[in-house]
Amino acid sequence: MSTYGLGAMYNGTEDKIQEFINRRAAYLGWSETEAPFFHVLLRRINVGDFVFLKSYPPNRGLLIKAIGIVTEPQFIAGADELGARIGVDWRCVPDEPLVVGPVNDKADFMRRGSIYEELNPRLLRQITTLLFA
Q: What is this structure's pTM?
A: 0.93
52-89 in b/e form (b: 16+ CB < 10 A) is bbbbbeeeebbbbbbbbbbeeebeebeeeebbbbbbbe
Specify whether the CB–CB gap between 20 and 66 falls below 8 A: yes
Q: Which CATH class is domain 3-131?
A: alpha beta
Q: How far apart are CA 74 and CA 77, in angstroms?
A: 8
Tens digit of each residue's pLDDT (9 = 90 or more) over 1-32 = 899 999 999 988 899 999 999 999 999 988 88
Specify whether the CB–CB gap between 125 and 103 falls below 8 A: no
pLDDT band at 78 (very low <50, low <70, confident <90, very high): low
pLDDT band at 77 (very low <50, low <70, confident <90, very high): low
**β-pair type (9-10, 62-72):** unpaired
